[in-house]
């Protein structure tokens, strides 16, 4: 427990506090008056308003589009269901920069729609909203669908026997059972879209800006640290509130629901209604999730003879001091280090949270662990720069700085993956081993480890993908001669010219493939899990 706490104190709380202090403590006095100044500014108020309403609109749109998908993937049995479930998860771990780039290639200037029908959406808010749906489809499918697949169908059958029509039975039995999961998913989507950075940075243009983008602009372009500090605190408060509500809905969801094995609830589609639904969901996934990625790949190939890919290996491209392709190696090694840190810290935290004598304080830590997901990554990145520059913690020149920042985002995923598995290990299984003569250490090795091993791998995979795609913090602290993949993509996109654009598409494609491979390996582990042993 001590190690995770220390980790978060030094690498999360301290940098964030440092940057707030730097911004609000001017000439030795706290200037809380800055709040009124900043929040009174019409431009800032516009940003706040836009951040909120686009998050609400994105959440509503995501629910509308993804809930039928959750049902189809949870309850209908059809060939390729497992693969499809993996496919819809790919966008979630894709770097936001890639998502932005893909939608730019689809909807932007010279994009697919522009070529076909002369339609451009990149100057409208629709591009942002659709990219957010793309990104968060999996959140709804996983959270709601996961529960939906496990709801006992006999509950609905019992309602039917008591005289309820199919619709009434669904409305009175299934919907109330699902409601907390829907609420939890909606809050997660709201959280992710409220703090959206990479997507808005690329698709928003000069017109649209979220809080996170504004914090980035204030710190790195205008150098107005006190405004940035105020905005950071505002976002902190908002995220804290969202997480509190989320924790509350999750706790309610853990109430007395009757769950069964997911393998038992899926049925082959029956009747015109279910077939139409299935077709509709498949079409949605194809258009909304697969098409942008396909366009991305296609754009990267428009130069003859893989020209853009070959350009990546040219060290004299002008944008970086090194060949852009070297970003792949840099990203992979950073992500590997970040994964190792996240797995160690996350497992320790999860183990501490599972202990039966864990008190209120520790359970509160559970919620705190989610904070890095929502707190401005830009702030963390910049905070690293200004806070970790003095001995004994002078890490500015150290390569470890980037993995540390990326691990912060990875830890919540590790904890989320490990906790349910550790909690599900029946204490009596450990007792059974002990009675048969296993010492406590042997019990851990023989009982806990085999069960947790897969979860550990899954968690590591998630942390790896998330670290690979981390942009907001990395953009500050990655050194120019050693950019990571997302940073390189963003840098290339900001330069004019077809060659730079093409190289950005090619790098994004590489990043996407690396993420997708990591994720598909994960899904294989998971399904192997379900079919046999756990």
Partner 1 sequence: MLLSLETATVRFGGRAVLDGVGLAVAEQEIVCVLGPSGSGKSTLLRAVAGLQPLDAGRVLLDGRDQAAVPVHRREVGLMFQDHQLFPQRDVAGNVGFGLRMHGTAKDERAARVAELLDLVGLPGAGGRSVAALSGGEQQRVALARALAPRPRLLMLDEPLGQLDRTLRERLVVELRELFGRLGTTVLAVTHDQGEAFALADRVVVMRDGRIAQSGTPLEVWQRPADAFVARFLGFENVVEASVDGRVAITPWGKVPVAEGAAEGVRTLLVRPAGVRLLPAGEGLRCTVAARAFKGTHVAVHLQPADAPRLEAACALRSAPEVGDEVGVELDPADVVLLD
Contacts to partner 1 by CB under 8 A: 426, 428-429, 431-440, 442, 446-447, 450-451, 532-534
User: Among residues 391 and 437, whose Cβ is nearest to partner 1?
Assistant: 437
* Paired tokens of 518: 């990591």
DSSP structure class, residue 330: H
User: Among residues 161 and 432, whose Cβ is nearest to partner 1?
Assistant: 432
User: Among residues 114 and 446, whose Cβ is nearest to partner 1?
Assistant: 446
Q: Cβ of residue 438: shortest distance to partner 1, in angstroms?
A: 5
| Residue 448, H or E segment | none
Is the Cβ–Cβ distance between 359 and 453 less than 8 Å? no
Q: Cβ of residue 447: shortest distance to partner 1, in angstroms?
A: 7
For residue 136, the tally of other CB atoms under 10 A from its CB is 28
User: Among residues 247 and 525, whose Cβ is nearest to partner 1?
Assistant: 525
For residue 244, the tally of other CB atoms under 10 A from its CB is 11
Query: What is the C-alpha to C-alpha distance for residues 532 and 527, in angstroms, rounded to an integer?
Result: 9
Q: Cβ of residue 240: shortest distance to partner 1, in angstroms?
A: 35
Q: Cβ of residue 431: shortest distance to partner 1, in angstroms?
A: 5
Alpha carbons within 13 A on the beta-carbon side of 10: 15
Query: What is the C-alpha to C-alpha distance for residues 374 and 238, in angstroms, rounded to an integer?
Result: 9
User: Among residues 350 and 433, whose Cβ is nearest to partner 1?
Assistant: 433
User: Among residues 6 and 528, whose Cβ is nearest to partner 1?
Assistant: 528
Q: Cβ of residue 264: shortest distance to partner 1, in angstroms?
A: 14
User: Among residues 79 and 437, whose Cβ is nearest to partner 1?
Assistant: 437
Q: Cβ of residue 251: shortest distance to partner 1, in angstroms?
A: 23
User: Among residues 390 and 428, whose Cβ is nearest to partner 1?
Assistant: 428
Q: Cβ of residue 259: shortest distance to partner 1, in angstroms?
A: 17
Q: What is the separation of C-alpha 466 from the centre of its chain, rounded to a whole number of angstroms?
A: 7
Q: Cβ of residue 401: shortest distance to partner 1, in angstroms?
A: 40
User: Among residues 263 and 286, whose Cβ is nearest to partner 1?
Assistant: 263
Q: Report CA-CA distances (Å) from 507 to 314, 503, 528.
A: 13, 6, 32
Q: Cβ of residue 429: shortest distance to partner 1, in angstroms?
A: 5
* Paired tokens of 267: 């049925």
Closest CA relative to residue 226, chosen from 238, 216, 218 = 218
Q: Residues 393, 396, 399, 404: is their CA dihedral positive or negative?
A: positive
Alpha helices in 371-497 (DSSP H): 371-374, 377-387, 401-424, 427-435, 440-443, 449-469, 474-477, 485-494
Alpha helices in 25-163 (DSSP H): 33-40, 42-75, 81-93, 96-107, 112-117, 125-148, 153-161
Q: What is the separation of C-alpha 380 from the centre of its chain, rounded to a whole number of angstroms?
A: 17
């Amino acid at each position: 427990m001590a190690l995770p706490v220390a980790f978060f104190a030094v690498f999360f709380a301290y940098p964030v506090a440092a940057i707030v202090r730097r911004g609000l403590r001017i000439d030795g006095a706290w200037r809380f008056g800055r709040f009124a100044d900043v929040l009174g500014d019409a431009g800032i108020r516009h940003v706040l308003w836009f951040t909120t309403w686009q998050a609400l609109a994105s959440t509503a749109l995501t629910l509308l589009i993804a809930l039928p998908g959750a049902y189809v993937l949870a309850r209908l049995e059809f060939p390729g269901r497992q693969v499809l479930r993996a496919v819809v998860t790919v966008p979630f771990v894709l770097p936001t920069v890639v998502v932005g780039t893909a939608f730019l290639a689809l909807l932007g200037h010279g994009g697919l729609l522009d070529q076909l029908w002369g339609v451009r959406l990149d100057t409208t808010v629709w591009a942002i909203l659709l990219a957010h749906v793309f990104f968060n489809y999996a959140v709804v499918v996983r959270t709601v669908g996961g529960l939906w697949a496990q709801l006992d169908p006999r509950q609905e059958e019992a309602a039917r026997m008591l005289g309820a029509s199919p619709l009434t039975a669904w409305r009175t039995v299934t919907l109330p059972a699902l409601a907390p999961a829907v609420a939890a998913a909606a809050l997660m989507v709201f959280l992710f879209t409220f703090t959206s950075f990479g997507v808005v940075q690329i698709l928003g243009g000069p017109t649209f800006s979220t809080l996170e983008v504004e914090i980035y602009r204030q710190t790195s372009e205008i150098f107005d640290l006190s405004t940035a500090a105020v905005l950071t605190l505002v976002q902190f408060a908002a995220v804290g509130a969202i997480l509190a509500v989320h924790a509350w809905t999750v706790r309610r969801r853990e109430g007395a629901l009757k769950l069964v094995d997911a393998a038992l609830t899926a049925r082959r589609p029956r009747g015109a209604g279910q077939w139409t639904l299935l077709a509709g969901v498949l079409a949605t996934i194809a258009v909304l999730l697969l098409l942008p990625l396909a366009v991305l790949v296609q754009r990267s190939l428009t130069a003859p003879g893989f020209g853009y890919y070959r350009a990546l290996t040219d060290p004299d491209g002008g944008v970086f001091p090194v060949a852009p392709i070297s970003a792949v190696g840099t990203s992979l090694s950073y992500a590997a280090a970040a994964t190792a840190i996240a797995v160690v810290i996350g497992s320790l935290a999860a183990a501490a949270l599972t202990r039966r004598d864990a008190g209120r304080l520790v359970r509160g830590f559970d919620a705190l662990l989610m904070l890095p997901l929502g707190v401005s990554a830009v702030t963390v990145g910049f905070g690293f720069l200004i806070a970790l520059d003095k001995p004994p913690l002078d890490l500015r020149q150290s390569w470890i700085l980037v993995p540390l920042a990326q691990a912060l985002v990875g830890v919540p995923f590790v904890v989320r993956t490990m906790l349910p598995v550790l909690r599900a290990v029946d204490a009596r299984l450990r007792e059974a081993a002990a009675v048969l003569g296993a010492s406590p250490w042997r019990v851990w090795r023989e009982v806990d480890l085999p069960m947790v091993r897969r979860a550990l791998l899954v968690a590591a995979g998630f942390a790896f993908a998330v670290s690979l795609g981390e942009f907001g913090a990395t953009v500050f602290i990655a050194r120019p001669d050693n950019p990571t993949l997302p940073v390189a993509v963003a840098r290339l996109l900001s330069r004019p010219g077809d060659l730079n654009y093409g190289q950005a598409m090619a790098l994004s494609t590489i990043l996407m493939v690396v993420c997708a491979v990591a994720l598909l390996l994960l899904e294989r582990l998971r399904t192997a899990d379900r079919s046999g042993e756990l």
